[in-house]
Structure 1
Amino acid sequence: MASNASASQMTASALLSVHATSDTKYDEVSTTSANPPESVERHPEFFFEDKLVAIQVEGTLFNVHKHQLTKSEVFSDMFKMPRIQGPEEGSTPEHPIVIKGVAAADFVALLKVLYASHFSSNPPAPTAALMIPAFRLANMWNFSELRTYLIPLAEKHLDDVDKIVFAREFGIKEWLTSAHIRLSQREEYLTTEEARKLEVDSVLLISRMREKYRTERGKWPFPPNSYYCAGCSGLTNATTGAYYACDECGTSSRNPLRCLNPNSALAQKMSGPSTVDTTSLEEEVNKWVEDEYSTKK
């Protein structure tokens, strides 16, 4: 009973000290309140005031930990400004800091990423709807560590269309080049939703690259006024004078073409996978991106 009584009378400091040194007895623990050190320094990284700051964005009110906001150079400088007379902005929900020109949904995205630990077992899904607005505000208010965290995350998880949207807004030229090249090379055409996300210039470039540098599967391989030998075409003119019915449509003809080799070079172009002139395509996309950037400067 004596030991239980001693335990119930212990301060939080003493109890934590006991857990830190399991072989220490309760009655041997000295508390910091009994013998305070001569000087105590606040840790520059892990001393949190834990003060809440009220912020209004559009018609929504937020209560956010001040130490999270001080990770921003803009907010940190704002908190250092001398106070004016009257209630302090952000001190209560009745006197919030009002942020204009920012969407409440974008601010929510920023807070979700800001509060998510890098080691969280249940982090928010790294979607474009989350990362693009979160990075927009992190960039605007100079959350430098958050920007550094989000860039590789966006590069890993965004698809090529969203990478172009991201790269255009935040000036990442390297992403523009690689994403346009991959979209021009892939088998699938742009969907309507993808085309709506991209600017008209990007849609036109991708369409032009596909038409110019791809040989599509099933495309007619004979250009107008071209000549091919029987070996390459797999076809020969069967001039026998007799009528033959076309095996495809049944039309009779006296001068049909006879298939000699279904595996000819031109037949392979029609039945095989699409081919891409990768080198020429990459050169033209690179030039297009460079020209676009030089025009905007």
Structure 2
Amino acid sequence: MTVSPPPEPNPGYVEYKRRDETFYFTTVVFLVEGVLFRVPRHPFADGSDVFRQMFQLPIPDGNGNEADGCSDDRPLRLELIRENDFRQLLKALFPDHRRSQKMPKTFSEWRSVLKLSAMWEFESAKKLAVDHMSPMAIDPVDKICLARDYDVQQWLVPALNALVKRKEPIGMKDAERLGMELALKVAAIREGVTYTHQSYPLQIGERQVAHLDFTNAIDAMLVHTTLASP
């Protein structure tokens, strides 16, 4: 009895089995300030616990079995988010999506990435923003507020140190942004510097403290200081 070999597979016929977990991309449509963004979903699901949990929510009854984000007609609405902020985050998440696509460059653009990545717990995007912003010449008060608002611990003490060394005194605008408690404590560290001449303390002339390090005093101050936004 002759046994025939199995037939060759027909290359024109592909039997559906399963979706590859790595290279099968689904898309999601976001609506931000009236603008639709259609992008691969996996960076959001893989990089953010917030979006991962959002995508796992059951589909509400009565919406045609379509989840928000599945089409232009049912976009995932991101309320209270600025269109440009979201666009800068997409640049950081998809730097090679298009040849013409560019990474954020300016302080303002990276601040948008930092803001949204901290809000939505994109740890890799947040680290990318911190790495790019760290070398920038940022005003000490701005950097303190960014460190406090977006939990960038490595910026806080150096920025406070720079503020203590600043020639200009703590003003009302600084106090409004920092909060009165923090502003007063920073001012106390600043005013605690004395200049000695022939064993007599002098409080006159221009501040000459650029060579000093106030890290220990700042660390002690932060132990009993509330850093919540004013």
Q: TM over 0.5, yes or no?
A: yes
Alignment correspondent of 2:151: 171
Distance 1:34 1:62, change over 3 A: closer
Alignment correspondent of 1:213: 193
Output the CA distance in 2 between the equivalents of 1:283 and 1:89.
51
In the TM superposition, residue 173 of structure 1 has moved relative to its aligned partner by: 4.2
1:74 corresponds, among 41, 47, 50, to 50
In the TM superposition, residue 278 of structure 1 has moved relative to its aligned partner by: 3.0
Distance 1:211 1:54, change over 3 A: same
Amino acid at match of 2:218: V
Q: Deviations over 1:60-118 (max 9, x none)?
A: 3322222332232332333344445414422222221122243334323322322225x
Higher-RCO chain (CA-CA 8 Å, sequence separation at least 6): 2
Q: Deviations over 1:233-257 (max 9, x none)?
A: xxxxxxxxxxxxxxxxxxxxxxxxx
Amino acid at match of 1:73: D
1:291 corresponds, among 220, 224, 229, to 224
Count of residues paired in the alignment: 209
In the TM superposition, residue 277 of structure 1 has moved relative to its aligned partner by: 8.3
Output the CA distance in 2 between the equivalents of 1:105 and 1:122.
14
2:39 aligned counterpart, secondary structure: strand
- In the alignment, is the contact (CA less than 8 A) between 1:112 and 1:124 conserved in 2? yes
Output the CA distance in 2 between the equivalents of 1:80 and 1:33.
38
1:213 aligned counterpart, secondary structure: coil
Identity of aligned residues (%): 22
Distance 1:212 1:192, change over 3 A: closer
1:54 corresponds, among 16, 24, 29, to 29
1:292 aligned counterpart, secondary structure: coil
The two structures, once aligned, show a CA RMSD in angstroms of 4.3
Q: Which runs of 5+ in 1 are unaligned?
A: 1-31, 216-220, 227-265
Correspondences of 1:205-284 after superposition (within 5 Å): 205-213=185-193, 215=195, 274-275=208-209, 278=212, 281-284=214-217
- In the alignment, is the contact (CA less than 8 A) between 2:175 and 2:183 conserved in 1? no
Output the CA distance in 1 between the equivalents of 2:16 and 2:73.
38
2:77 aligned counterpart, secondary structure: strand
In the TM superposition, residue 181 of structure 1 has moved relative to its aligned partner by: 1.0
In the TM superposition, residue 180 of structure 1 has moved relative to its aligned partner by: 0.9
Alignment correspondent of 2:128: 149
In the TM superposition, residue 292 of structure 1 has moved relative to its aligned partner by: 0.7
- In the alignment, is the contact (CA less than 8 A) between 1:57 and 1:98 conserved in 2? yes
2:92 corresponds, among 113, 127, 130, to 113
In the TM superposition, residue 164 of structure 1 has moved relative to its aligned partner by: 0.8
- In the alignment, is the contact (CA less than 8 A) between 1:214 and 1:274 conserved in 2? no
Output the CA distance in 1 between the equivalents of 2:104 and 2:172.
24
Q: Which runs of 5+ in 2 are unaligned?
A: 1-8
TM-score, normalising length: structure 1:
0.53
Relative to its length, the structure with more helix (as a share) is 1
1:125 aligned counterpart, secondary structure: coil
